[in-house]
A and B are shown apart, each in its own frame.
Chain A
Amino acid sequence: MLFTAALVLFLSSCKDNNENKEIASVDIPATVEMKATLTSPPHVPPPTGKRKAKKLIVDMEILEKEGEMTNGVKYMYWTFGGTVPGSFIRTKVGDEVEFHLKNHPDNKLPHNIDLHAVTGPGGGAESSFVAPGHEKVFSFKVLNPGLFVYHCATAPVGMHIANGMYGLILVEPEAGLPDVDKEYYVMQGDFYTKGNYGDRGLQPFDMQKAIDEDADYIVFNGKVGALTGDNAITANVGETVRLYVGNGGPNLVSSFHVIGEIFDRVHIEGGNSINENVQTTLIPAGGAAIVEFKVEVPGTFILVDHSIFRAFNKGALGMLKVQGDENKNIYSGELRDDIYLPEGGGIQSMPSIAEGLESEIPAKSMAEMLEFGKQTYMQTCFACHQGEGQGVPNAFPPLAKSDYLNADPERAIGIVLHGKTGEITVNGEKYNSVMTAQTLSDDEIANVLTYVYNSWGNSKKEVTPAMVKSVRAEK
């Protein structure tokens, strides 16, 4: 109410020197009816462009459904439109939105929706409180341009949000946003599970961890890997990319950053104020920002929450893959690799675990060893040794058809346990790199090595937990 009053005041006071805002948003007529296009992340609906304000019908279905948080970890998500974050809604100032909120009959719980773009009590929550198997309809006029969060506000509110019930609604200004080449939808969220990061099986929501704000997963677009590998977002050199970035929370604030890029423009907190040349922008829980940048050189640019352990240990990592010609004036790539040896040069290591961790669920068969092993591989080894064990030339040795690996399984176990530094020769190529000691249980090491030995043309050896145990004891 206050806001509206302030807006009207503001508009009338600058009427004389601002011809474009002759009529207040409230008075923009919306007569023609149109069905809104909704999209799943990372996609956004087409721009509103030059169209006039309309009566926009938004149809949204609430689904409680099981999904995968990361390899081998299942989670019961509560969703707007079947995805986390929920479907992207794109509107224009003056639009009259007729919102149809449908709660699927199979759902257990009532839900509602609070859209931060709504001027009215509860942001729509009161009018949209809907039982399973029912549909609620309410309407509102969008008055303020900007990028807004929507979320469920049914008790217990925190739990509904923690399970994935949030998304973004964009309200474009009357003239629309400037054209860009690529637009994507990215939204961060934190998740709280009974088990720790990576613990297999269906993981229930953990209320105590949520209250303690002790997140197990902090991810973009609802799961680990939603924006990496084949799911990466893409652009071509020379294009301008606009990201609509939201943060559903429920608890944590995001320090959003794209490694190797500088944001040319940031619509701070999704509002009118634009900041330029920004490295990292803060996105509050229940808030959003629009970031724009031109990609000048090819390569993979990593989206992170720069509270950096979240990125590398809890999942807050995405990829933007840019294709096109290199521009050595902007970025040369590696020019030289010289030796630099100050004192020491000891091996990097993670905190060691003398006893070894107990794996919660031991593999019962070869098939399970391979399955669990693959999960561990994707969580632990994939980043360096790559999806097909091909490694990275000159940096990380291949595991596929690897003579070094196949020659000595005990040596391989030792490397996983204790790490490896210094020059080795694999398949005729020299590598001089560092692998850190891995914090894995005997079972996990047995599984992952068995998986590696039984993949990509290797010798099909089976590595047992007992073998790992004996190598661990040798130390």
Chain B
Amino acid sequence: MDSFLKIILISLCIAIFQPVFAQDDMAMVRGGTYIPLYGVDSTAVTIDDFSMDVYPVTNADYLEFVQEFPQWQKSKVKPLFADGSYLNAWESDLSYPNRFSADAPVTNVSWFAAKKYCECQGKRLPTIDEWEFAAMADEKTADARKKESYNQKILDWYEAPKTFNNEIGSTFKNYWGIYDLHGLVWEWTMDFNSVLISGESRKDVDKDSNLFCGSAAVGASDLMNYAAFMRYAFRGSMKANYSVKNLGFRCAKDIPKI
């Protein structure tokens, strides 16, 4: 996004919005170079330092957001920006159901809504590469992808039902000081549909994509890939207006270079 547009967007938010509606806790992730799931040695990705929300955005956070920005309320949101499942369980524009914990991650929000939420805080959604980079840490190490315990924990969550209503902070604090990257909900990323599958076109999936029968079997040789495959598969099934029960988000921010 060019910076001119960014300034306009931020100022638009600030113009109508003063109070801070979300927890400010962010943790710094020191950048580095790593090879993502879909890559080979030559496609190593370099990440700059960035900061990331310590917790996913909660129901309470999101309620404040829709109070400030009525255009993102359930009944007022533009269908182009959020499908029929947007805030699906909410009883009205300004109340989520009692059975939802205030501190549980907000879900059933579209990518457009998540993106706007972050922009209105002067933040942005993390990129896939940033998210995956931060999420390959376990409690002790920055890159735990080769550890069996780390992978088993993730796979276990993928099989555990109805974790979306667990409270933030209920899983582990990772090497960077960030909670809940694994174990609560899936999370939106800025460029969620840029890898393997394009959200628009189904035409390019047959030979390049790793998501279907033949090719999935070739590359996926170890446990680490299987866990990550499920995330990429999930992202690939999304479109930007989809609002899904097990999908939330958190924001990230650049760290100004000195």
Q: Given contacts A126-B205, A131-B237, A133-B85, are A155 and B155 in contact (CB under 8 A)? A: no
A55-85: which residues lie under 8 A (CB-CB) from chain B? Answer: 64-66, 76
Cβ–Cβ contact A133 & B158, under 8 A? no
A456 proximal to B (CB < 8 A):
no
In the assembly, what is the distance between CA of A134 and CA of B84, in Å?
Answer: 10
Partner among B155, B162, B197, B213 whose Cβ is within 8 Å of the Cβ of A125 = B213
Contact of A121 among B156, B206, B226, B242 (CB under 8 A): B206
Q: A127-B202, A204-B156 in contact; A155/B85 too (CB < 8 A)? A: no
- List residues of A (129-152) whose CB comes within 8 Å of B's CBs: 129-134
A39 to B209, CA, bound (A): 34
Inter-chain contacts of A66 with B (CB < 8 A):
161
CB proximity of A212 to chain B, nearest CB, Å: 12
A205 to B157, CA, bound (A): 11
Does B142 touch A at the CB level, under 8 Å? no
Q: What's the Cα separation between A205 and B186 when bound, in Å?
A: 20
Q: Is B233 an interface residue (CB 8 A)?
A: yes
Partner of B212, one of A131, A153, A163, A208: A153
Contact B206 A122 (CB under 8 A): yes
- Distance (Å) between the CB of A122 and the closest chain B CB? 6
A346 at the B interface (CB under 8 A)? no
Among A76, A110, A158, point to the contact of B233 (Cβ < 8 A): A110
Residue B195 CB within 8 A of the other chain: no
Complex alpha-carbon distance, A106 and B246, angstroms: 7
- B234 an interface residue at 8 Å Cβ cutoff? yes
Report the count of interface residues on A (CB-CB < 8 A).
Answer: 35
- Complex interface bits, B226-258 against A, C-beta within 8 A gives 1, otherwise 0: 100110111011110011111000000000000
Q: Kindly identify, within residues 73 to 110 of chain A, every residue whose CB is under 8 Å from any CB belonging to chain B.
A: 76, 105-110
- Rounded to whole angstroms, the CA-CA distance of A427 and B159 in the bound complex is 51
- Across-interface contacts of B88 in A (CB, < 8 A): 105, 133
Contact of B230 among A76, A133, A155, A208 (CB under 8 A): A155
Min CB–CB distance B30 → chain A (angstroms) = 30
We find that the number of chain B residues with CB closer than 8 angstroms to chain A is 40
Interface residues of A in 114-130 (CB under 8 A from B): 114, 121-122, 125-127, 129-130
Interface contact B212-A155, CB-CB below 8 Å:
yes
Contacts of A132 in B (CB 8 A): 244-246
Question: Which of B205, B226, B238 sits near A156, CB closer than 8 Å?
Answer: B226
CB neighbours of B217 from chain A (8 A): 157-158
The interface residues of chain A lying within 8 Å CB-to-CB of B220 are 155-156
Taking CB atoms, residues of chain A closer than 8 Å to B246 are 106-108, 132
Q: Which residues of chain A in 323-356 are interfacial with respect to chain B, using CB atoms and an 8 Å cutoff? A: none
Residue on B nearest A110 in the bound complex, by CB: B237
Report whether A105 and B161 are in contact in the complex, using a CB–CB cutoff of 8 Å.
Answer: no
**A64 to B152 alpha-carbon distance, docked (Å):** 19
Interchain CA distance A76-B159 in the complex, whole Å: 7
Residues of chain A within 8 A of B239, CB atoms compared: 131
Closest chain B residue, CB of each to CB of A205 = B159
Contact with A along B152-189 (1 / 0, CB 8 A): 10011011111000000000000000000000001000
Q: Which A residues are in CB contact (< 8 Å) with B51?
A: none
Q: Contact: A155 with B159, CB < 8 Å?
A: no
Q: Are B85 and A105 touching (Cβ within 8 A)? A: yes
Interface: B73 (CB within 8 A): no
Does A322 touch B at the CB level, under 8 Å?
no
B229 touches A156 (CB 8 A): yes
Residue B216 at the chain A interface, CB threshold 8 Å: yes
- Knowing A105-B85, A105-B88, A156-B220 touch, does A122 contact B213 (C-beta < 8 A)? yes
Is B26 close to A, CB under 8 A?
no
Select which of B159, B230, B237 is within 8 A of A129 by beta carbon.
Answer: B237
> Is B210 positioned at the interface, with any CB of A under 8 Å from its CB?
yes
Which residues on the B side are within 8 Å of A121 (C-beta)? 206
A154 within 8 A of B: yes
A133 contacts which chain B residues (CB < 8 A)? 85, 88, 242-245
Give A127 to B210 CA distance when docked, in angstroms: 15
Does the CB pair B85–A125 fall under 8 Å?
A: no
CB contacts (< 8 Å) of A180 on chain B: these are none
The complex places the Cα of A235 from the Cα of B230 at a distance, in Å, of 44
Closest Cβ of chain A to B250, distance in Å, is 18
B161 to chain A, nearest CB (A): 7
A110 partner residues in chain B, CB cutoff 8 A: 233-234, 236-237
CB distance from B223 to the nearest CB of A (A): 5
Q: Is A126's CB under 8 angstroms from B244's CB?
A: no
Whether A105 lies near B230 (C-beta < 8 A) is: no
CB contacts (< 8 Å) of B226 on chain A: these are 156, 159, 207
Other-chain contact of B223, A122, A126, A130, A208 (Cβ < 8 Å) = A208
Which residue of chain A is the closest to B196 with respect to CB atoms?
A: A155
Query: Which residues of A sit under 8 angstroms from B202, Cβ to Cβ?
Result: 126-127, 129
Cβ A157 vs Cβ B213 within 8 A: yes
Closest to B158 in A: A108
Judge whether B211 is part of the interface by a CB distance below 8 angstroms: yes
Taking CB atoms, residues of chain A closer than 8 Å to B205 are 126
Chain A interface residues (CB < 8 Å from chain B): 64-66, 76, 105-110, 112, 114, 121-122, 125-127, 129-134, 153-159, 163, 204-205, 207-208
Q: What are 7 inter-chain pairs, A to B, with CB distance below 8 A?
A: A108-B186, A109-B233, A127-B202, A129-B237, A156-B226, A156-B230, A205-B159
Top 5 nearest A-B pairs by Cβ distance?
Answer: A110-B237, A131-B237, A155-B216, A155-B229, A76-B159
Besides the known contacts A125-B213, A131-B244, A204-B152, 13 further A-B residue pairs in the complex with CB atoms under 8 A apart? A105-B244, A106-B246, A110-B236, A126-B202, A127-B202, A131-B234, A133-B243, A155-B211, A156-B226, A159-B230, A163-B159, A204-B155, A204-B156
